[in-house]
Amino acid sequence: MKKEFVKNLDSIFILGRGNSLLRCPVKKPEKAEYWGCNSVYKAREIDRLFIIRNLYVTQFNRDKEILKNINEKDFPVYTLGEYREIKNNVRYPMEEMIKEYGIAHFLTSISYMLALAISQKPKNLFLLGIDMEFGVKIEYLRDEKGCIEYWLGVAVGRGININLAQESTLMKRKKRSNFYGLIVKKGENKESPSTILEPEYLWGKPKSALQYKIVKMGINI
């Protein structure tokens, strides 16, 4: 089964099994789709499922009953190869994605999902349950986290709003500000709070130092 893509979606929710999945509304908003990977279908009613790693490895390590369960559902299941055991199996459009972006930078299941989601041109992308916690195995921080952040940059470059959970480390550094060479201060206006950035100087503040205000590109849920 090949489920046609919905045109003019407001939002695509990319869902993993991290703690912030709890922030995903149980009732799906209008003009939105829920895309999940691996066993996320157990937690939310999804529109599309992605099993990027070898199906049998996923079955052994994560979900012993995955074949039985997904074959009772109506959503398409995207895989890199073809699996006759899956009722609604769809081969991931790898060739189309490379043609679309001119690059193959896929180091995690979420990167495949993001590339396909961006190609559908939604207004918003929500990433929930994709927390990439500092303290998990080093692969997350060296490879997977950076790869996901690359695709978030592609989304922003195409005018798509990205929305990240507060628990997520995406677009953040551990124990450091995201503004290298700048001091981050809170604005003094309590009615309209803002964040002020000032250049960081080692020998005092020059009279001509400029200030910057942060413009939000997305929201933290």
DSSP string, 38-91: GGGGGTS--SEEE--S-HHHHHHHT-TTHHHHHTTS-S-EEESS--TTSTTEEE
- Burial zone of 152 (CB within 10 Å; 0-12 exposed, 13-18 middle, 19+ buried): buried
Q: pLDDT category, 213, cuts 50, 70, 90?
A: low
Among 4-18, 61-75, 117-131, 155-169, the range scoring the smallest mean pLDDT is: 61-75
pLDDT in tens, 136-166: 665 556 688 999 999 999 999 999 999 999 8
3-class secondary structure, 163: strand
d(CA 121, CA 116): 9
Please tell me the total number of residues recorded for the chain in this structure. 221
3-class secondary structure, 192: coil
How many CB atoms within 10 Å of residue 158? 10
**For the packed helices 109-119 and 145-157, what is the interaxial angle rounded to 10 degrees?**
10
d(CA 55, CA 7): 30
Q: Is residue 15 within 8 Å of 128, Cβ to Cβ?
A: yes
Please name each of the domains of the chain with its CATH number.
11-164 (3.90.1480.10), 182-213 (no CATH)
User: What is the arrangement of strands in the sheet containing 212-213, beginning at the earlier edge strand?
Assistant: 182-186, 195-199, 212-213
Task: Output the pLDDT for position 140.
Answer: 59
pTM: 0.84
Asked if residue 208 has pLDDT above 70, the reply is no
Residue with tokens 């041109």: 121
Q: pLDDT category, 174, cuts 50, 70, 90?
A: confident
Task: Output the pLDDT for position 48.
Answer: 97
Among 14-23, 32-41, 53-62, 79-88, the range scoring the smallest mean pLDDT is: 53-62
**For the packed helices 94-101 and 109-119, what is the interaxial angle rounded to 10 degrees?**
70
